[in-house]
Amino acid sequence: MIINGLEIAKDCRAKLKEKIDKMEIKPCLAVILVGDDPASQIYVANKEKAATEVGIISKIFRLEKTTKEQDLLNLIEILNQDKNVHGILVQLPLPKEIDEKKVILAISPEKDVDGFHPMNLGKLVAGIKGLVACTPKGCLKLIKSVQSDLTGLNAIVIGRSTIVGKPMAQLLLQENCTVMMTHSKTKNLPELCQQADIVVVAVGKPNFVQGNWIKSSAIVIDVGINRLDTGKLCGDVDFNNVSCAAITPVPKGVGPMTIAMLLENTLEAFENQNS
């Protein structure tokens, strides 16, 4: 089974639009783009289009690559104080002269629709309701589109980033999975993978996970997106040689869900601020 992230994301956006259409005041998302990175420009354009389609007001702030860190922090503080702005997203990566951690910390946790702020990560660990990082949140919806009850399943998360791996492990724990977090120093990774009912991979290495690592009944979520020398896109999993119960393709798997969850987080932030 190929998990169609494009269709599932489309359904999520339709439900959001239906809800937002009935609202007198619309949620507002502010997106800050620093520099002219081509990939970042495409991501921001896609986010702006998706937000507009569901009825979210989108404000894009395009700053020069030479923008000073303090000027960016000042803009974030203005948006933090603006009651008409409900979500703030700073497109990463930032120019190397700007400290990403400092920028993430500057965003009000209540408006942190990316779910990267330590306050929101801490809430996730503590089991307290907060804004959850978009990609792992979308991954969980994809998994549950195949199997709604994950209680007792063995899950393995390959990659321990704070953007995907760590929050993904926490979400799976909340679903009563037995979770193993693995990384570049893990020994016997293929053997560990073979025991997993759920495999989530986010390492940024083309075709890293081999077909014989995956058991036939597993659900595989491939977060990676890599461009080969041929120009073709591929994931972190050797898609063509995996035989399993369900798997996400690359592209049209996790990517569309990340944007859908960003919109969902924006609505959630709006509701929290106006409750």
| Catalytic positions | 47, 91, 114
Structure tokens at 272: 């929290």
HEC per residue, 11-22: HHHHHHHHHHHC
Count CA atoms closer than 13 A to 255's CA, side-chain side. Answer: 16
Taking the C-alpha atoms of residue 179 and residue 195, their distance in angstroms, rounded to an integer, is 11
Alpha-carbon dihedral of residues 236, 238, 239, 242, nearest 10 degrees? -130
> Which DSSP helix (H) or strand (E) runs through 199?
strand 198-201
Residue with tokens 């953007």: 163
Taking the C-alpha atoms of residue 275 and residue 87, their distance in angstroms, rounded to an integer, is 15
Enumerate residues 6+ apart whose C-beta is below 8 A from 165: 157, 158, 159, 181, 183, 200, 202
Taking the C-alpha atoms of residue 110 and residue 128, their distance in angstroms, rounded to an integer, is 13
CA 216 from centre of chain:
26
